[in-house]
Structure 1
Amino acid sequence: MALVDTVVADLIAEGDALDDLVAGLGPEEWATLTPAAGWTIAHQIGHLTWTDRTSLTAITDAEGFQRALKEAWTDPGGFVDAAADAEAARPPSELLADWREYRARLAGALVAVPDGTKLPWFGPPMSAASMASARLMETWAHGLDIADALGAAASATDRIRNVAHLGVRTRDFAYQVNQEQPPAAPFRYELTAPSGDLWVWGPKDATDVVRGPALDFCELVTQRRHLDDLALGFTGDDARHWSTIAQCFAGPPGGGRGPLAPTSSKEQ
């Protein structure tokens, strides 16, 4: 099975898991505030709907995507919130139906992208597999916001390997958006999957090492949990500093979340 097929299968499953969480909500519950400042559950699903629809446009309508890109850059600091506001104002039943439609259409379009094709986006062009990984990361992260708002358990399956891989791949990006120089030497990452498997990236002799649960790592790189609330260990000054700026999503440096509990992170 091609990489993009595997990632898209995970994307579909993650979307279905989030769908199960919101499908039975009443209209008033869609107005529940989430940990993202000013965003309700409707905003979260609205953002996913808008991004899935825009991703589909990037694959199927190059001119249409360029128009969307031009419109977005008229308000680079606010177009994401504006789109979420517009989607959240719609009746929840319509919003949910559209999200279902566009995520299904996007999944089909992603697996049909010819090998070697680079898809346009708001940042650098990306492969279909990379776009699928980014969509899965957002679906999981915004799903975590919704789960938190509802007091439900977070989705924690081995599908988050896609999120963890993105967190590893974006190490240097986190430095760049903070106008810092990335370290020359690679880090090593040793993460325990929800299934208990060990996921490893980087050389064995790396000076800087990140260890801990993969779930906690994914919460760190998506900035869904404060470092103090994560059971992660860091060896080396560079790894410790990176942990304070880690970010796997596009855009300017995120503000992150405040701590929920007394300090529990471990440094070695």
Structure 2
Amino acid sequence: MAGEYASLLDDLQAEQEQLASDVDGIGRDDWLRPTPARGWDVRDSIAHLADTDEVACDTCTDGPRALNVVRHRYASSEDFTLAGVLRGRRRPGRDVLEWWRESSAREREVLDTIEPATRIPWGLGMSASAFATARLMETWAHGLDVRTALGRPARDTNRLRHVAWISLRALPYAFTVAGRPVPEAPIRAEVTLPDGSAWTFGPPDAPARITGPAAQLCRLFVQRIRRADSTELRAEGDAADAALDVARAFL
């Protein structure tokens, strides 16, 4: 497991550094380009990542901005998120990028000192391994928004297996948020990664099955596309069909 965790942290670094590289050197007007996230521009997206990476560090180390400390200062999770974005709006884009580079590097350093099974009090609580995966997922999702705003192609890599994993692990939560019962039947996913290789999740004999490209599965679960747009995904069985209806990978 230790080797897998080290590899996961390497993938987190690669995802973060790839997005940082893509916005490094863009012009002032580019930082202010609107993204598909309503009301947010490119700078806002990077500021959100920088702020949440700082909160992530303090959550792992019992620091002053640990999530369970700061969230009570705001009326809602939306207000908490907005506060982080507003921190970025007081800075030029290049300074926001430097802020994110520093906070993401610190985040990786902190995660590297923690055993992968250690429980992190984030949301409902999760292992350090799942937490690192969640940070990779969020970086990738906001990277989609940023690259769309800049008119650049998406950067889909085999790191999508991490996004797919946490998406499918989050299904009980997704059903709960949607106000629907969690299916008793296990779900199997068989998806194709960008390099053409197969990635699977769940028992091989599961009566419910999701198949298709990982890129569409992950976009659906981070809610960057609607189910009607995920034309290459196939659901076999009621539980799989319901899973694609409630798809949600984040809090």
Query: What TM-score, normalized to structure 2?
Result: 0.93
CA contact 1:183–1:238 (8 Å) conserved in 2: yes
Opposite residue 101 of structure 1, the aligned amino acid is E
| SS of alignment partner, residue 179 of structure 2 | coil
Aligned match of 1:179: 179
Give the whole-Å Cα distance in 2 for the aligned partners of 1:139 and 1:25: 18
Counterpart amino acid of 1:225?
A: I
TM-score, reference length from structure 1: 0.88
The runs of 5 or more residues in structure 2 that have no matched partner are none
| 2:190 partner SS | strand
Structure 2 residue aligned with 1:237 = 238
- Structure 2 CA distance, aligned partners of 1:172 and 1:116? 20
Q: Provide the rounded CA distance (Å) in 1 between the counterparts of 2:84 and 2:51.
A: 7
SS at 2:120's partner residue?
coil
Aligned to 2:211, what secondary structure does the other structure show? strand
Moved more, 109-118 or 44-53: 109-118
- Root-mean-square deviation (CA, aligned residues, Å) is 1.5
| Structure 1 gap ranges (5+) | 251-268
The number of equivalent residue pairs is 248
Secondary structure, counterpart of 1:78 in structure 2: helix
Structure with greater helix percent:
2
Does the 8 Å contact 1:3/1:129 carry over to 2?
no
- Looking at structure 2, the residues matched to 97 and 152 of structure 1 have their Cα atoms a distance apart, in angstroms, of 21
Q: Secondary structure at the match of 1:158?
A: coil
SS of aligned partner of 2:16:
helix
Output aligned runs, 1:56-67, within 5 Å: 56-65=57-66, 66-67=68-69
Change (3 A) 1:69 1:166: same
**Runs of 4+ displaced beyond 6 Å:** none
Structure 1 residues 111, 42: closer, same or farther in 2, change over 3 A? Answer: same
The aligned runs of 1:22-37 (5 Å cut-off) are 22-37=23-38
The alpha-carbon deviation at position 119 of structure 1 amounts to 1.8
Identity of aligned residues (%): 37
Match of 2:73 in 1: 71
Question: 2:83 — aligned with what?
Answer: 82
Contact 2:52–2:84 (CA under 8 A) maintained in structure 1: no
